[in-house]
Amino acid sequence: MNPPATAPDHAIVVEDLSRHYGPFRAVDRVSFHVERGEIFGWLGANGAGKSTTIRMLCGLLQPTSGDATVAGHRISRDPEGVKRSIGYMSQKFSLYLDLTVEANMEFFGGAYGIPRRPLRHRMEEIVGLTGLAEYRGATTGQLPGGIRQRLALGCAMLHRPEILFLDEPTAGVDPVSRRDFWRLIRRLAGEGTTVFVTTHYMDEAEYCARIGLMVDGHLVALDDPAGLKRVHVPGRVLDVRGEGLVAALPTAREVPGVMAAEPFGAGVHVRFDTGTCDDARVLGALREGGARVAGAEPVEATLEDVFLAVVARGKEWE
């Protein structure tokens, strides 16, 4: 419950961290740690307190109570030390749109106090890493979102930070760009950078080594994706296709052993305990409810399922 503050393999150690706005508790007594070189996902619905957590960890926002150690620096006592060791990509897109790609990099490099010659060298590396070579002279405001996000990431990495904080870095970006972006993040993590990332996209969360789930300012679940699925969506999930399925869901829910039955994509997902129920009984109940079943196959539970299950029970953790 009380992790040592300076564990050498912990990039971030958070202890009882809270941030209140008046009576409202945006973040309420959150504790966890992040290991070096891992991709740590920080998930939650709108207003759950993700950005507030990140801002405190970046030394931008004073905690109401509790504390955290980031890259060996206490956020309460040494926010400047924190800032030197981290890179931060804020949720709001915050490059200078009237500046060129290169001018943005030069500015942020200068802001980190990197002298001209090393900065030139580092910019070459970043341009190569992020694939921005052909856009160097372009005005940032005229570039598509995916390229801007890569530039923002590049700017946050100029000073070789130990830890990267990315607040919804792929929001509003097309799927191909998102995939490229995540390839880049995984490569950085592979080279030893710790990545703390928030996202709304559950498919992206699958890339994270571990995930913390926030509901209304509380940390309600923390595990690797497989562990989260095992604990929060146990049993077998059957993906059923056909007609009239949604109308038949109440009948399926009556079957002993069925834990959840929800619309999913074009069909429905029914989850049940394999000890007390099986595929045949589920499909039988659906037909009984008036559905015409065209096909059914077992699927892996997704983090989306976890998220829905956890949020539905969110209040229980308070």
Partner 1 sequence: MRQPVARFFIRVGALAAKEATHIRRDPRVLYLALGMPVVMLLLFGFGVSFDIDRIPLAVVDRDQSEASRRLVADFVASGDFVQGASLASEAEIEPLLRRGGAAAALVIPKGLSRDLARGEDVPVQVVFDGSDGMSTTQALARADAIAQAATMRIRREGGLSAAPPLRVSAWTRFNPTGRSAIYLVPGLMAYVLAMVSVLLTALTVAREWERGSMEQLFATPVGRLEIVVGKLLPYLGLGCLQVLLVLAMGAWVFDVPMRGSLFLLGVVAVLFMLGMLGQGLLVSVVTRNQMVATQGAMMSSMLPSMLLSGFLFPIENMPLPLRTVSAAIPARYFVHALRGILLKGNGIAEIWPDLLALSGFAALVVVVSTVRFQRRLA
Of the listed pieces 77-85, 123-131, 211-219, 300-308, which binds partner 1 according to CB under 8 A?
77-85
User: Is 296 strand, coil or helix?
Assistant: strand
Interaction of residue 91 with Mg ion, rule CB under 5 A? yes
d(CA 157, CA 178): 18
90 versus 170: smaller Cβ distance to partner 1: 90
Interaction of residue 21 with ligand ATP, rule CB under 6 A? yes
94 versus 274: smaller Cβ distance to partner 1: 94
Of the listed pieces 87-95, 97-105, 108-116, 221-229, which binds Mg ion according to CB under 5 A?
87-95
Interaction of residue 86 with partner 1, rule CB under 8 A? yes
The 3-class SS string of 230-284 reads HHHCCCEEEEEEEECHHHHHHHHHHCCCEEEEEEECCEEEEEECCCCCCHHHHHH
The single residue among 11, 14, 30, 49 that binds ligand ATP, judged by CB under 6 A, is 49
**Would you give the binding string for ligand ATP spanning residues 243-282, x where CB under 6 A is met?**
----------------------------------------
Which structure tokens are listed for 298? 């077992």
Which structure tokens are listed for 208? 């994270």
Residue 49 partner contact from Mg ion, partner 1, ligand ATP, none using kind-dependent CB cut-offs of 5 to 8 Å: ligand ATP
Interaction of residue 23 with ligand ATP, rule CB under 6 A? no
Which structure tokens are listed for 136? 């160097």
d(CA 299, CA 99): 48
User: Is 153 strand, coil or helix?
Assistant: helix
The helices-and-strands tally (H runs, E runs) of the chain is 11, 14
143 versus 152: smaller Cβ distance to ligand ATP: 152
In 10 A of CB 64, how many CB atoms?
A: 15
Interaction of residue 98 with partner 1, rule CB under 8 A? yes
Q: In this structure, are strands 194-198 and 163-167 parallel, antiparallel, or unpaired?
A: parallel
Which residues contribute to the site for ligand ATP (CB under 6 A)? 21, 26, 44, 46-52, 91
Which residues contribute to the site for partner 1 (CB under 8 A)? 21, 55, 58-62, 79-80, 83-84, 86, 88, 90-96, 98-99, 103, 106-116
